[in-house]
């Protein structure tokens, strides 16, 4: 079985899939473990084995150490692209087009949810929990992983459930959307606010070092705070930025001074604190409802 993949960086732990001559006149046996030490002129990898010997091997003669045993057992994960094509229950456009922040240069980012057939979980080789593809700018989660992350108030997942730009929706997808309020809770305060705080620390370091942060990232962090504020106050996630479009785009273009952006951010954080004190959202999401629905999905996906 040939194993191809992206270029391996120096330091990657690998296992030889075939026996190969070593630099001491001996043989490095199949299954020998080492680390990538470099790339030789003909494109093969220089591998330093754990006992100090060195050998060279093509990419298809190497396995990642973490994957070697699965490959040796020929455990082949179900085709992720096929799962997305045949079992997607819900897909939407997210990103700038859903936020109302798109320009002529904006990409169309699609995110979806698929349901792997129940029988596929009975195999040693489980279906993937997420798939990047099959189309460019398309990313999907298996329904169980999607529910798990959405219950933790992950902004990316909640935005999928509330995007107005629906690409695909089956009967199961409609049930998921109908249940979307079950995912909403006060956990959003921590996930949204905490993420923005951690990211702004990095952006402030960029600003001190380079004189300017990544303004597009700054814009989306401010957008997250606006979204979290409306979520806590209205128990509804509003994806479109509405009247804040032009000011946010000005941030993206770097037209607002850093001090003004920082003042806006701090004001929004204070408003989030106030919104949390007055929110009607429950302290935790309705896990039982989501779990019951997931059980029913698994039953209906048999056969």
In terms of domains, do 84 and 180 share one? yes
Beta strands 166-169; 88-94: pairing state: antiparallel
What pLDDT, on the 0 to 100 scale, is given for residue 134?
85
User: pLDDT tens-digit profile of 188-211?
Assistant: 999 999 999 999 888 988 888 888
What pLDDT, on the 0 to 100 scale, is given for residue 2?
42
Residue pair 157/143 in contact (Cβ under 8 Å)? The answer is: no
23: containing domain = 13-72
Tell me if 4 is assigned to some domain.
Answer: no
Higher pLDDT, residue 170 or 78: 170
Higher pLDDT, residue 135 or 303: 135
In terms of domains, do 113 and 174 share one? yes
**Would the pLDDT of 1 be above 60?**
no
User: pLDDT tens-digit profile of 155-188?
Assistant: 999 999 999 999 999 999 999 999 999 999 999 9
Q: Model confidence at 218, in pLDDT bands (50, 70, 90)?
A: very high
In terms of domains, do 201 and 268 share one? yes
Whole-angstrom distance, CA of residue 142 vs CA of residue 300 = 15
> What's the whole-number mean pLDDT along residues 267-290?
96
Tell me if 193 is assigned to some domain.
Answer: yes
Long-range interactions of 244-250: CB distance < 8 A, separation 24+ = 245/100, 245/101, 248/101, 248/219, 248/222, 248/223, 249/101, 249/103, 249/219
DSSP, residue by residue, 51-65: TS-EEEE-GGGEEET
Tell me if 231 is assigned to some domain.
Answer: yes
CA dihedral 27, 28, 30, 35 (to 10 degrees): -160
Q: Model confidence at 5, in pLDDT bands (50, 70, 90)?
A: low
What's the CA angle centered on 230, arms 226 and 235, to 5 degrees? 150
What pLDDT, on the 0 to 100 scale, is given for residue 50?
94
In terms of domains, do 159 and 294 share one? yes
In terms of domains, do 228 and 295 share one? no
Residue pair 92/163 in contact (Cβ under 8 Å)? The answer is: yes
> What's the whole-number mean pLDDT along residues 272-277?
96
User: pLDDT tens-digit profile of 131-145?
Assistant: 998 888 999 999 999
> What's the whole-number mean pLDDT along residues 55-77?
82
What pLDDT, on the 0 to 100 scale, is given for residue 212?
84
**Would the pLDDT of 77 be above 80?**
no
Strand partners, 22: 55
CATH number at residue 55: 2.30.30
Beta strands 130-132; 33-39: pairing state: unpaired
The two structure tokens encoding residue 189: 């305060």
In terms of domains, do 191 and 132 share one? no
Q: Name residues whose C-beta falls within 8 Å of residue 162's C-beta, 6 or more positions apart in sequence.
A: 180, 237, 238, 239
In terms of domains, do 139 and 177 share one? yes
Within 13 Å of residue 225, how many CA atoms lie on the same side as its CB?
A: 27
Percent of all residues in the chain with a pLDDT value above 90, rounded to a whole number: 82
Instruction: Give me the sign of the Cα torsion angle 261, 250, 96, 133.
Output: negative
Q: Model confidence at 76, in pLDDT bands (50, 70, 90)?
A: confident
In terms of domains, do 205 and 267 share one? yes
In terms of domains, do 132 and 245 share one? no
Predicted TM-score (pTM) of this structure = 0.78
In terms of domains, do 224 and 141 share one? no
Q: Model confidence at 3, in pLDDT bands (50, 70, 90)?
A: very low
Q: What's the domain count of the chain?
A: 3
Whole-angstrom distance, CA of residue 215 vs CA of residue 225 = 16
The chain-wide mean pLDDT, for the chain, equals 92
Q: Name residues whose C-beta falls within 8 Å of residue 123's C-beta, 6 or more positions apart in sequence.
A: none
**Would the pLDDT of 83 be above 80?**
yes
> What's the whole-number mean pLDDT along residues 206-223?
90
């Amino acid at each position: 079985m040939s194993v191809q993949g992206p270029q391996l960086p120096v330091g990657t732990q690998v296992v030889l899939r075939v026996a190969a001559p070593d630099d001491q006149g001996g043989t490095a046996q199949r299954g020998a473990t080492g680390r990538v030490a470099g790339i030789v002129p003909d494109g093969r990898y220089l591998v330093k084995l754990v006992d100090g010997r060195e050998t060279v091997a093509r990419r298809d003669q190497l396995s990642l150490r973490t994957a070697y045993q699965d490959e040796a057992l020929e455990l082949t994960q179900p085709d992720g692209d096929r799962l997305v094509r045949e079992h997607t229950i819900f897909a939407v456009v997210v990103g700038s087009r859903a936020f109302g922040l798109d320009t002529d240069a904006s990409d169309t980012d699609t995110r979806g949810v698929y349901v792997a057939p129940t029988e596929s979980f009975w195999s040693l080789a489980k279906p993937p929990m997420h798939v990047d593809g099959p189309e460019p700018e398309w990313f999907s989660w298996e329904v169980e992983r999607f529910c798990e992350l959405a219950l933790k108030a992950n902004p990316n997942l909640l935005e999928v459930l509330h995007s107005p730009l629906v690409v695909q929706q089956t009967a199961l997808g409609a049930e998921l959307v109908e249940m979307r309020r079950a995912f909403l809770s006060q956990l959003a305060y921590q996930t949204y606010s905490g993420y923005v705080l951690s990211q702004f620390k990095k952006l402030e370091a960029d600003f001190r070092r380079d004189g300017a942060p990544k303004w597009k990232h700054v814009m989306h962090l401010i957008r997250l705070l606006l979204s979290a504020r409306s979520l806590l106050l209205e128990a509804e996630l509003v994806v479109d930025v509405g009247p804040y479009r032009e000011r946010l785009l000005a941030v993206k273009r770097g037209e607002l001074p850093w001090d003004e952006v920082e003042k806006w951010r701090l004001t929004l954080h204070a408003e989030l604190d106030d919104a949390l004190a007055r929110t009607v959202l429950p302290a935790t999401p309705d896990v039982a409802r989501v779990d019951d629905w997931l059980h029913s999905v698994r039953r209906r996906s048999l056969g």
